Structure 1
């Protein structure tokens, strides 16, 4: 099992990785962060709203399913949000340089990190 810090540091080893955080979606507060390039305090709070909106929409549609991840594609960056299946209300937020990163590998890395993450 890996700590939050170890897990985030591992995410930053991928090409194009800029920053990452573990966020409590009930408060919008970060439980840990690593890297630079984005104001993670602002991003954590804003992406909490993204998670809440998507979950509300799923409930409204009567979808009995879970979110694996949410991808936001910007001109120069990928922003990935992955709710933790073992820790309700907590998600990983991951920012990558679009020109330098491999999205499939990044998604897989987040999945692997989630399995080993301990609180």
Structure 2
């Protein structure tokens, strides 16, 4: 599945408000869908790049022999899921913003895992 299809599938998740595929090496969004005036996905992509980098530095400092699957940020009205992708040589993550009242967090995480497995870059 290509980037556009992957993002459309992410937006099909119940409660989805916006999604992006982000290169955390550069902080650039490779693709976005949804969002709007209240949710600038380009700004969110850059900001969440710093979240990912900080967590990776922390794992290295702790000398943990493990990998990040996803990072969850909970707000009063939204869930923000950062799903790191297992791509050869890639530094990518899927970013999904959900309306907390309409979303099923477990199902959303499962769906992102499925999208990760099917995406071809």
Q: TM-score range by the shorter chain?
A: over 0.9
The corresponding residue for 1:33 is: 32
Q: Which 5+ residue runs of structure 2 have no aligned equivalent?
A: none
The structure 1 segments of at least 4 consecutive aligned residues displaced by more than 4 Å after TM superposition are none
- Please list, as runs of the form range in 1=range in 2, the aligned pairs for 1:14-25 lying within 5 A after superposition: 14-25=13-24
Cα distance in 2 for partners of 1:86, 1:24 equals: 11
Q: Which 5+ residue runs of structure 1 have no aligned equivalent?
A: none
Number of equivalences: 118
Q: Superposition RMSD on alpha carbons, in Å?
A: 0.8
Cα distance in 2 for partners of 1:67, 1:36 equals: 25
Q: 1:92 aligns with which of 87, 91, 94?
A: 94
Deviation at 1:28, TM superposition (A): 0.5
Cα distance in 2 for partners of 1:49, 1:82 equals: 14
Q: Provide TM-score, normalisation by structure 2.
A: 0.95
SS at the partner of 1:46? helix
Deviation string for 1:60-117 (max 9, x for gaps)?
Answer: 0010100010000000000000110124311000000000000000000000000110
- Please list, as runs of the form range in 1=range in 2, the aligned pairs for 1:38-57 lying within 5 A after superposition: 38-57=39-58
Q: Provide TM-score, normalisation by structure 1.
A: 0.96
Q: Is 1:76 matched up with 2:77?
A: yes
